[in-house]
Amino acid sequence: MNARTLAIAAFALWLLTIAVLAFFFIRGNTAPGTDKRTAVVLAPAERELILAEMRGLLTTVHDVLDGLNKNDMKQVADAARRAGMGSAADVNPALMAKLPLDFKSLGMSVHHDMDDLAQAANSGKSPAELQTMLTNTMSKCLGCHAAWQLQATK
């Protein structure tokens, strides 16, 4: 085998590897769900981590609403910031590879929305404007829960 043939074979193998990785990055580790949703298949500890993050987001929503009820924009901003992109920075790449692209996109957009909400609260937006922002973010949560379920491997 000459050097040119070897180089072409190596390049083809590299392209195939990239294509397979891209496929799994987009598709994630999924299976048909127990209902009409798609199951994201995770190790038990990974599933618990995602569920804990979701519970944290629900706590954030509560704290934001509580701040809005009290007209306490500092509380709104602090609560929203806790769920912003900073909270998503240390996600395990192996876990991210198992999540479908649409799931990842929705999750990251919620974290971005929380940063935007914190900034809006600090910049003097009205409680009604902040509540509209939160409602729009919650629509993403509802969409995600309608489309996906988390399934632990056995």
- Give φ, ψ of 15 to 5 degrees: -60, -40
pLDDT of 23 reads 61
pLDDT of 139 reads 97
Q: Is residue 101 a part of any domain in this protein?
A: yes
Instruction: For residues 4 and 2, give the distance between their C-alpha atoms in angstroms, rounded to a whole number.
Output: 6
Judge if pTM exceeds 0.95: no
Lowest mean pLDDT among 16-20, 44-48, 58-62: 16-20
Q: Is residue 82 a part of any domain in this protein?
A: yes
* pLDDT tens column, 67-100: 999 999 999 999 999 999 988 777 788 888 899 9
**Which residues form the domain of 108?**
29-152
* pLDDT tens column, 2-43: 887 877 777 677 766 665 655 665 667 899 999 999 999 999
Instruction: For residues 50 and 56, give the distance between their C-alpha atoms in angstroms, rounded to a whole number.
Output: 10
Residue 49 has pLDDT above 80, yes or no: yes
CATH number at residue 38: 1.20.120
Question: How many domains does the chain fold into?
Answer: 1
* pLDDT tens column, 106-139: 999 999 999 999 999 999 999 999 999 999 999 9
Q: Which residues pair with 148 in a beta bridge?
A: 38
pLDDT of 73 reads 98
Q: Is residue 109 a part of any domain in this protein?
A: yes
